[in-house]
Amino acid sequence: MTAMKKPQARTAQQWGDLVRSASSHTGPRPRVSIWHGMADRTVAAANAAALLSQWTNVHGIDEDIFTQASLAGHRHRTWSNRKGETVVELCLIEGMGHGTPVRRTKAQARARGAERFMLDVGLSSTLHLATSWGLVHRKRAPGRK
């Protein structure tokens, strides 16, 4: 609980060393997606910053060099490796508390509200990840390639 409120003060190298020392794996590291509600009173935003420092260090990329865009009206930053592949992303959801961002369909909205910790912010982190990782392919409008 203490770490959720305030992560330990460590350098990016120290955070990265924790990952490297956890396994003898020397191959490619996983892509990492960090999502944080800016109104989260359970987990401090400093944890998202610590994760970002950790995983940019693990991937050997500069934390200060990123691309920023809007994802459904929320701040979305991506960090790429030398091949141009996104290896770390950070999505900061304004006004969202502690939970998983979801986007209810019209049918779900009529049925009832989102469950506890499933927060309807108009953006589904699960669908975004599944699509960006190539697990789901979005349907294209007729006539579009």
Whole-number Å distance between alpha carbons of 130 and 122? 16
Residues 6+ apart with CB under 8 A from 85: 31
Bridge partners for 35 per DSSP: 91
pLDDT at 34 over 60: yes
Q: Is 54 left (phi over 0), alpha (psi -120 to 50) or beta?
A: alpha
Least confident of 16-25, 26-35, 132-141: 132-141
Per-residue pLDDT tens over the stretch 93-130: 988 888 888 876 665 555 565 566 777 888 888 888 88
Q: What band does 35 get if pLDDT is binned at 50, 70 and 90?
A: very high
Q: Give the pLDDT mean for 53-71.
A: 96
C-alpha pair distances (Å), 46 with each of 8, 22, 53, 61, 88: 10, 22, 10, 20, 17
| Residue 61 or 116, more confident | 61
Query: What is residue 90's predicted lDDT score, i.e. its pLDDT?
Result: 96
Query: What is residue 124's predicted lDDT score, i.e. its pLDDT?
Result: 86
- Answering whether pTM is above 0.95, one says no
C-alpha pair distances (Å), 119 with each of 88, 92, 109, 110: 23, 14, 12, 16
